[in-house]
Amino acid sequence: MIRVILRAASITFLSGILVGSAFVAGSATARLILPPALRSDSGAPGDWASAIPVFWQAWDYVHEDFYKPEIDDKRLVYGSVEGMVESLGDPHTLFIEPKTAAIEQSKMQGSFEGIGATIEMREGRLTVVAPIKGSPAEKAGLKTDDIILQVDDTIIQNMDITTAVSLIRGPKGTTVTLQVQRARQAPFTLSIVRDVIRTPSVEARMIEGTSIAYIRLNEFSATAPGEMQTELKTLLAQHPTGLIFDLRQDPGGLLSAALDVTSQFVKPGQIVVVIKDKNGRSVPCADASGRSIECKTKAGGVATDIPMVILIDKGSASSSEIVAAALKDYQRATLIGVTTYGKGSVQIDHTLSDGSELNVTVAHFFSPKNNDINEVGVAPDIEIKITEEDVAAKRDAQLERAIQFLQTGK
């Protein structure tokens, strides 16, 4: 299986993984973006003959000289692939072993067991991108940008992310203890009881005491656009005067879902995202089945006129950034919160013969006005930070500011 990934995080803490959306923001067949390299009859690239002697020499010396009598050849192969991928210096180009790949795949089906946090390895440090809303990780207090120093008795440093995930994941009811570093604070310990994690794509309601509608998207899954449209119709039937679209802590998902979600708020035929390959050439978008499609909004949007605010934060990534950047460029919505994550790269997700996966960065994406997103993020129109005092008081200052803006226009 080959897909195109537009997701922020490298791996999700779970005890089961699914192959599909949350990690896949822009699912489309890799071949639509880059043609396959010419291969020999053996399946090896043409220049393999000049490179393979070094590999086999090292392989033979390890088997001849290493002092342990038993050597796991599969571990050697995986380690070789991991080393090759890590040498590229790109945190989003990843090799994922079969068990971990299966876990990520299960997540795409809507439920899994684990602590519920999206993570990646940054400069050798295991870093939290975002806890899943309502998950054990969020309830325990794990936050975006927290660094996990230790899992139970194992120190995490320069460890491949697959191994780190295997230490954290586990069945419902079991406990994992994390040592966490937050900013410049002293390290502290969190004990988290794993559970079944269910992730509804959409949450919607009218905000009590106001005429303002609220809708939240937790991830850009295949079902998200349909759920969004259904919930929007229900909200609009109540004649709201404004709409708050919450993309905070949404790490991304399918590119096709990002196009469809944007289409709910913008007139048809507008460019949503610009994708460029390593040579700076524009490449097409693709739907979930891999067919090439235009990177433009479609007809049928139900909320193209209502005054609108988008809430963003550091956990808003990838597909979330595509939508936020497009609506900002078209002045369709006012963005409130803090600058987003800055994951503007596109990965091809290859499923290998043994069930392992290889995610390879093949392109970067830009806003309709050609603004770079990768490592930059999308800046809010009105910056509102959540302070420690806000957290202690259980006060959502960003949501409050959005309500105020829609009520006063200021």
Domains and CATH numbers, the chain: 113-198 (2.30.42.10), 202-345+362-408 (3.90.226.10)
In the chain, the amino acid numbered 15 is S
Helix (H) or strand (E) run with residue 325 in it: helix 319-329
C-alpha to C-alpha distance for 243 and 327, rounded to whole angstroms:
13
According to DSSP, residue 42 is labeled T
Q: What does the pLDDT profile of the chain (410 residues) look like in tens digits?
A: 445 556 654 444 433 222 222 333 333 323 334 444 444 444 566 667 677 888 889 999 999 999 988 899 999 999 999 999 999 999 889 888 887 777 666 555 555 778 988 888 888 899 998 888 789 999 999 998 999 999 999 999 888 776 788 788 888 999 999 999 999 999 999 999 999 877 678 999 999 999 999 999 988 888 899 999 999 999 999 999 999 999 999 988 888 899 999 999 999 999 999 999 989 998 888 776 667 889 999 999 999 999 999 999 999 999 999 999 999 999 999 999 999 999 999 887 888 999 888 988 889 999 999 999 999 999 999 999 999 899 889 899 999 999 999 999 98
- Catalytic residue list contains 343: yes
Please report where in the chains the tokens 């975006």 appear, as a residue.
144
Catalytic residue of the set 90, 145, 329, 390: 329
pTM of the entire structure? 0.71
- Catalytic residue list contains 318: yes
Q: What is the DSSP string of 60-97?
A: HHHHHH-SSS---HHHHHHHHHHHHHHTT--TT-EEE-
- Catalytic residue list contains 349: no
Catalytic residue of the set 313, 343, 345, 349: 343
Q: Are 107 and 9 in contact (CB under 8 A)?
A: no
Residue 50: how many other CB atoms lie within 10 Å: 8
Catalytic residue of the set 27, 106, 318, 320: 318
Residue 189: how many other CB atoms lie within 10 Å: 10
Question: 205 forms bridges with which residues in the sheet?
Answer: 214
C-alpha to C-alpha distance for 224 and 202, rounded to whole angstroms:
7
